Structures are given as structure tokens and as C-alpha cells.
Amino acid sequence: MTIADYPAVNKDVLSRRVRRWGALYQAEATLRSMRAYGGVILFASTFQPIMYILAMGLGLGVLVGAETDFSAYGADSYLMYIAPAILASTVAMTAGIEFTFPVMEGFKWRRKYYGAQATALTPPQIALGHILGVSCRFGLHALIFTAVLFAFGALSSPAALLMILSSTLGALAIGLPIMAYISSLRDEKGHAAIIQRFVIMPLFLFSGTFYPLTNLPQFLQVIGWVSPIWHANELGRVLAFGQPTDLWLVAVHIGYLSAIVVVAWFAVQRVFTRRLGYDEWRGRIPGLKADQRRQERQDAKAAATESYQRSEGVPPVAFRRGVGANYYSGNIRAVFSRGLTAIRNNRGIIFISGFLEPVLFLTSFGLGVSPMISGIEAADGGTISYAMFIAPALLAVSAMNGAVFDSTWNVFFKLKITKLYRTMMSTSLGPVDVAVGEIALALFRGGIYALGFLGVLVATGLVTPLPALLMWITALFIALGFACIGMAVTSFMKRFQQMDWMMMVLIPMFLFSATLFPIDVYPTGVQWVIQALPLWHGVELMRDIAFWDFGAMTLVHIGYYLVMVGVGGALAAYRMKALFLR
């Protein structure tokens, strides 16, 4: 008697059930793990559409609507025109996250898939389970989004509900190829960030979300044709307000998206089967050759400098006496140089990619929105081009984003995950050395990005060299202000989820702070709120310099940032021990 024919019936039924429904079990596991940050997901799904509608639909819409008519597309207003596209785009952007980090987590960080592999689940079922689970999130997001759009009167047809399907299809078309790629990697070393910046960002920005794709020059339209987001956007517009479209084109949209999904699904299946099947393939290591070459170079260098003398007694260790000696030991340089070494050890492309974002934004909005707006009224009564209007703002935004990311997420990561600061604090470094060193590093990085972006602005004639130089210094100043506040805020942080909430502050700040349109489209009360926010002052300060038009307000902006540096710096210094000695 073998095990197989013991309580034979039950085992057979059980394994047949797993074979048939296994993917659903895996999907349930995926959904359960999402519940941990369910609050953020629900909030984001509701909050995001409202923000976009208020900012782009109603804010930018005032400018665009005054000059451009969308009735040829079947839409009553600019808001109506962009609403379905924003839905499809935000779902697709979510896919860019859900198919990268959680997949890496499954294979490497927490090896969840290997747990599932030990059961009767097959590798394709595990993959399908993840896809199904994530699709539920897309569906929920799209459902809430659609409801909000109905509430704002941005949808005219009940067929709009079908957008839940079209946007999920678009998200899968962008997500599954990424899933196939990520799951073939042994380890994530900034690949997700590279995909985000070099693939998803361009596909999003040149997908005709905020304007008809035809506004762009021909060669950029090509990106749109390739982009699943454009196809999903166009489907959404057909469903939401019946944008006049040839039937064959609708078929092309659906066919293109489905074809990608099917092909990518086979690729995903193949990779999952290889990794979770019998041969237990451990995944590719891209850049391995480059790493090996680097190691050979270093070995050669080490061999050349072999003839060092044995050390004879240790030189004196650096520390200070006197005021603040408990906090500052005068060795910021070491912290800074550690950061440089780490950057050098990482792949250069990650570093470079930071400067790409503002350039892409400028290209997309400058070229795409300009045809719909004849110009923006300048302070001196003349008009300036839309690109000229947003360029200084994008520099300020980029300075803010970089500084906030470095002083919050990065600091928190080194505090909690890599424990780098614990290492530093077991040497003669003081907390101030560490904090200032990290801020200096953030400014260094931000300074290089700003330099690159300003180079583009000067080359395209959007800014002249002298203001550009002042703007560079201002970018560093803005970054310093945000970095000080960021450090102070981080000292109160306890969990990673709190970091997600911070994004909820940054996105609206970006959308409303006179970056993409002047704030006088809003009622006075709203304007006051915006004017109280730091980014608005940064944006306006940048514009004052770019247009060489200074006034009393310029001083107010500068003063605002001086206060930010002072208060943020003082609070961070006060919280120094809480930050590093926990």
C-alpha cells in the first residue's frame, strides 16, 4: 500500500483542486500582502483623481479651454478630454510599481514564491496569481477613479464604466513585459528605478495624456504609438465621451495591447518555470561583466601599490574639544567621501537618470501644451511662451524632489535597513558630521542635476547664461531648505508607511504651486493656501531670476527659504540624537 492510495480520494481531489484553482490561492496571498498598506492604496485611489482633476482639469483647463476647443474630439471641456487618459495613465504607473518590487520580493527579498513552489502550485499559477491579485488593485483604482469623474461631471456615457477593463488591459500591457524582465534578474540593483525613469516616464509623458498626440512633432509621436498608455488613453476616450475614431483604429488599440499581454505572458511563464522549476535557475546578473572588469582593474591597482610599509603606530584620531564637541567632530569630509565612493560603486546610469526627469517634463509639456496656449501673461504685461513659463518651475521642482528624497527616504533607509548610521556612530563621528555630510551629498547630486538641466535650458534659449548661473545657486538654496526640513521630519518617522504619506504631500504641491499654470485661475482663498507652501516660493523665486524681474516679493521668497533652513536646521539639530541614537 503506497501513500497515493491511502485516503486516495481526498488527496486526488485536493491536488486537482489546486491544479485548477491554484492561481486564485496565490492571488489571495498577493491581495493579503497588499492589505498591509491598504490605507495608502485606498487613499491614493481617491485622492489622486481629485488632485489631478482640480489641478490639470480645472487649473490648466482654464488656460487651455480659453483658446482651444475639444468638440472635434467629442469632449465638452479640457477636463473631459484628459479625464479618461489620466485614469489610464495612473493605472499604468501603478503597474510600473506593482510588477517590479513585489516580484523581486517574491524571488529574492522574501522568497515568497519559493514557499508557494513547495506546494502543489505550478510556476505559471504563481505568476498568474500575482497578476490576478494586482489586477484587482487596478480594477479597484479604476472603479474609484471613474466614480470621482462621474461626480465631477467629467464623463458623459455609461460606457465609461468599461474603462475599468481598458485601463487594466493597458496596465497589463506595460506591466507584464516589466514583470518578465524583473523576474529574470537575480537581484534588483536600481533596475526598477531605471525602468521607471527610462521607460515608464517617457511612455507616460509622450502618450497624449494631457494633449492630443498630434500636438507633438512627428518623431515624438512615434513614442506614443509604441506606448501602451497611448492606446489605453485612446480607448478610454472612445468609451468615456465617444471620441470619433475609425473602427479599425479601435481594433488596432485592442489588438496591440492584447498582443503585448499575450507575448509577455508567455515570457513571464517561461521565466517563472525556469526559476521555480527543477533546474532552479537563479536569474541573470546584468552588468556582471562590468563588475568583473572593475574588480580586475582594482586588483591590478592594488598589485601596483603592494609595496606599502607596515603601519607603525596609529596617527592621532580626530575629535574636537570645546563647544558642541559631543555633536560635531569636524569630519564631515569622511561622510561625504563615503557617499561619493558608494555612488561610484553603483552604476553610473542610475546617477545620470536623475537629470532626465525635468528634461522629459519640459519636452512633453513645452511641445505638447504650447500649441493649445498662445502664451502666458508676464508680470511686465507682455507674454512669454509656455515652455519659458514652466522651465524655471521644473528646475525648482526637481531641486525639491531630489532633496526631499535624499533627506527622507534615503536617510530612513540607511537608518533602518542598512544601519549605516549605526556604523558611523560607533566611530568618532558626531551626529552633526553625519547629517551635514549627507545634506552636502544631496546638494552635490542635486547641483549636478540642476547643472545638466540648466545646460539644456541655455542651449534651447529658454534662459540666458547669467540668470542661469543665479538659478543654479538658487536651486541649491531651495534644495538646502527642503533637505533641512526633510531631515527634521525624518527624525519623527517610525515606519516606512509614513514615507508613503509624504508622497501625498509632494504630489499636490507639485501640481498646484504655479508650476504648470499661474495660480490666479483659483479663488483668492485657495491662492493663499498655495502661497503658504514652500514650493510656490521656490517656483516664483526661480521665475523672478529667469525673467530678471525682481521686486519686494523676491525678498519674501528668499526670506521664506532662509526661515526654512533656519527652522528646519535647528529642529534637525535638536532632534539629532533622536535621529541617530535610537
Partner 1 sequence: MSISSALESSAPSDTAPAPAIDATSLVKEYGDFTAVDGITFSVRRGESFGLLGPNGAGKSTTMRMIAAVASRTEGQMLVAGLDPEQHGPEVRARLGVIPQQDNLDEELTVRENIIMYGRYFGLPRRYLRAKADELLEFAQLEHKANSRVEDLSGGMKRRLTIARALVNEPEVLLLDEPTTGLDPQARHVLWDRLFRLKESGTTLVLTTHHMDEAEQLCDRLVVVDHGAIMAEGTPAGLIREHSTREVLELRFGTDRNAEQAKTLEELLTGAGPDADFSHIEVLPDRLLVYAGQAESALEAIHAAGHKPMTSLVRRSSLEDVFLRLTGRSLID
Encoded amino acid at 320, one letter: R
Integer Rg of the chain from CA: 27
CB closer to partner 1 out of 65 and 430: 430
292 in contact with partner 1 (CB under 8 A) = no
Binding of partner 1 at residue 320 (CB under 8 A)?
Answer: yes
CB of 328 to partner 1, least distance (A): 8
Q: Site size for partner 1, by CB under 8 A?
A: 47
Residue type, 487: M
Per DSSP bridges, beta strands 383-384 and 376-377 are antiparallel
Query: CB-based burial of residue 18 (10 Å sphere; 0-12 exposed, 13-18 middle, 19+ buried)?
Result: middle
Which of 346, 374, 464, 497: binder of partner 1 (CB under 8 A)? 346
Nearer to partner 1, 15 or 337 (CB): 337
Nearest to partner 1 of 15, 295 (CB atom): 295
By CB under 8 A, residue 440 contacts partner 1? no
* Residue 304 near partner 1 by CB under 8 A: no
Residue 302 is a binding residue for partner 1 (CB under 8 A): yes
Q: Which is nearer to partner 1, 5 or 299 (CB)?
A: 299
Residue 427, interface with partner 1 (CB under 8 A)?
Answer: yes
- Work out whether 335 is an interface residue with partner 1 (CB under 8 A): yes
Q: Say which DSSP state 278 is in.
A: T
Pick from 157, 341, 374, 497 the residue near partner 1 by CB under 8 A.
341
Q: Kindly tell me which residue out of 6, 219, 278, 308 binds partner 1, with binding defined by CB under 8 A.
A: 308
DSSP string, 426-441: TTT--HHHHHHHHHHH
Q: Single out the segment in contact with partner 1 by CB under 8 A; choices: 156-164, 315-323, 361-369, 450-458.
A: 315-323
Tell me how far apart the alpha carbons of residues 199 and 97 are, in angstroms, rounded to a whole number. 13
Give the other-Cβ count within 10 Å of 575's Cβ: 18
Which sign, positive or negative, has the C-alpha torsion 9, 12, 17, 22?
positive
Q: Kindly write down the DSSP assignment for every residue of 391-453, as one continuous string.
A: HHHHHHHHHHHHHHHIIIIIHHHHHHTS-HHHHHTTTT--HHHHHHHHHHHHHHHHHHHHHHH
State which of residues 249, 318, 505, 529 lies at the interface with partner 1 (CB under 8 A). 318
Q: Using the minimum distance from each CB to partner 1, give the nearer residue, 206 or 336.
A: 336
Q: What is the rounded (10 degree) CA torsion for 433, 437, 439, 445?
A: 180
What's the CA gap between 362 and 122, in Å, rounded?
46
* Residue 345 lies near partner 1 (rule: CB under 8 A): yes
Residue of the chain from 15, 157, 326, 464 that contacts partner 1 (CB under 8 A): 326
Choice from 298, 374, 464, 497 touching partner 1 (CB under 8 A): 298
Site for partner 1, rule CB under 8 A: 295, 298-299, 302, 305, 308-311, 313-315, 317-321, 325-331, 333-335, 337-338, 341-342, 345-346, 418-420, 422-430, 577, 581
